[in-house]
Chain A
């Protein structure tokens, strides 16, 4: 299926997080990371998750991705239960692909082979077909020239873009991004944002995007969900009714500033609480 067809198919990828609680239990010391958190994310929505460090955002993402179990509550994808109290660990599947905070391209594979990895291990495409499709998708993302390079040979921006392509080739319902642009400078970031929006406009995949950066949240998101400090719960939702396609001129517009301020007030209050509680995050 080409990316053009994908956008015309019925939208999938609605996530519903219902009363989710996660208690970490390392050696009997209970850490309540997420407490009775509920959130409905529509199919094809770009949902930005904002909250202070250590509040439990990654924990939530890990539960959706199936990297660890939840303690109470349930998570559904398009109405089907991913995990609940009877089956607390969601199965890991290519319908929810993760892009990690520190980057997780395989250093020993070229960008092309990294992208081809998913379809190859799933057996949906032959090796040659997977390579061909990978090359095609990298070219679409402006990475055609570096498909034969190893991740260590390209800039972090290119690597990150390739990582998103590697996720998208699996035709996921949901893209889970955990602070993907965190370590980047503002200029690189804005290029990454435009590239991501461009990919989103083509695929309309549901995006669950964790960030610290409020401008990033408003610029990219349909909604910015502000979380409370630990235990994590939804504090406020800022609706971003700015039409797409968006470009960086938006950053200087009045409506954009107003929304950022709105989110900032909510986050600042929580950040202050987190700071006083001495929260720190596990990388």
Chain B
């Protein structure tokens, strides 16, 4: 622990470190930065020289070097359309994701705690679950009045099944001793649900959320590419890539791809952060 090493250095006195010093000593951060820099250099060099030591590099020789991508990025940064794409994709992801959480968590918990409910609904659920979200696209385009609603629906489905299955599994594997302990101390069913089942399921809820978030992004982007830039249900980062492809601009395609990477990273960081906040006891592990 750093506190201990500080004490050793300061001969028993805990030294206060400045923010700058702490930043300087943050090895994790520096390693992360180093990794990104090395990857960029490798990419730059790889795409500038299509031959390395007489070997043709597959793939990397074809993509534009990071400097070209950076130039393309600089050119789109001031354009409102680019930020509009971010906004649209995020809006779709969040809408589908949140609705899936709102419906999925209670459903998963209900399936876990009520045997009859589980026996009745689980088979139907298990038949629908393996259908990939994109297989729902044609049917939902027919059923829902607007493209936007179809996208929302398919996005919802993508996260929904994962969330339910995680919540159900998490709630069912809570140590029975915990439930018995609570019961023997006089807890009612209501207490046990709120104080034992729910906190005991939180880790699985967050696992489901993390996986579900990933699926939602995949589905949204695919749906944006499929639906194209029509008047309704268009736009978004998926469409940004598609449009760059149609325009034949390779650097812009990569800009779109990296934007999605960043968007995904932001989303999963947010979930991790929420998880840490909601489960303080898990920070120790």
Report the nearest A residue to B191, measured CB to CB: A121
A-B contact count (CB 8 A): 69
For B186, the chain A residues whose CB sits under 8 A away are 93-94, 118, 121-122, 170
**Are B178 and A106 in contact (CB-based, < 8 A)?**
yes
CA distance A121 to B188 in the complex (A): 8
For B183, the chain A residues whose CB sits under 8 A away are 92
Give the contacting residue for B185; candidates A67, A94, A152, A153; CB below 8 A: A94
Give the contacting residue for B184; candidates A92, A102, A151; CB below 8 A: A92
B175 interface contact, C-beta 8 A: yes
Q: Restricting to B136-175, which residues have a CB under 8 Å from any CB of A?
A: 175
Q: What secondary structure prevails in chain B residues at the interface with A?
A: helix
A183-195 vs B: 1/0 string, CB under 8 Å? 0000000000000
Q: Restricting to B181-235, which residues have a CB under 8 Å from any CB of A?
A: 181-188, 191, 195-196, 199-200, 202
Question: What total of chain A residues lie within 8 Å of the partner, measured CB to CB?
Answer: 28
Q: Restricting to A72-113, which residues have a CB under 8 Å from any CB of B?
A: 92-94, 96-98, 100-104, 106-109
**Are B279 and A100 in contact (CB-based, < 8 A)?**
no
Give the contacting residue for B187; candidates A98, A121, A151; CB below 8 A: A121
Report the nearest B residue to A108, measured CB to CB: B199
**Are A122 and B180 in contact (CB-based, < 8 A)?**
no
**Are B191 and A93 in contact (CB-based, < 8 A)?**
no
For A107, the chain B residues whose CB sits under 8 A away are 281
**Are B199 and A121 in contact (CB-based, < 8 A)?**
no
**Are A121 and B182 in contact (CB-based, < 8 A)?**
yes
Evaluate whether A100 and B182 lie within 8 angstroms (CB atoms) in the complex, with A108-B281, A121-B191, A150-B284 already known.
no
For A106, the chain B residues whose CB sits under 8 A away are 178, 181-182, 195-196, 199
**Are A117 and B185 in contact (CB-based, < 8 A)?**
yes
Q: What secondary structure prevails in chain A residues at the interface with B?
A: loop
Report the nearest B residue to A149, measured CB to CB: B284
A65 interface contact, C-beta 8 A: yes
B59 interface contact, C-beta 8 A: no
For A102, the chain B residues whose CB sits under 8 A away are 175, 177
CA distance A122 to B184 in the complex (A): 11
For B191, the chain A residues whose CB sits under 8 A away are 121
Give the contacting residue for A104; candidates B180, B280, B281; CB below 8 A: B180
Q: Restricting to B85-111, which residues have a CB under 8 Å from any CB of A?
A: none
CA distance A67 to B281 in the complex (A): 28
User: Could you write out 27 A-B pairs with CB less than 8 Å apart?
Assistant: A65-B184, A66-B184, A92-B180, A92-B183, A92-B184, A93-B184, A93-B186, A94-B184, A94-B186, A97-B185, A98-B181, A100-B181, A102-B177, A106-B195, A106-B196, A108-B200, A108-B279, A108-B281, A117-B187, A117-B195, A118-B186, A121-B182, A121-B185, A122-B186, A150-B281, A153-B284, A166-B185
**CB-CB nearest 6 A-B residue pairs:** A118-B185, A104-B177, A122-B186, A104-B181, A108-B199, A150-B281
Q: Residues on A close to B: CB < 8 A?
A: 65-67, 92-94, 96-98, 100-104, 106-109, 117-118, 121-122, 150-153, 166, 170
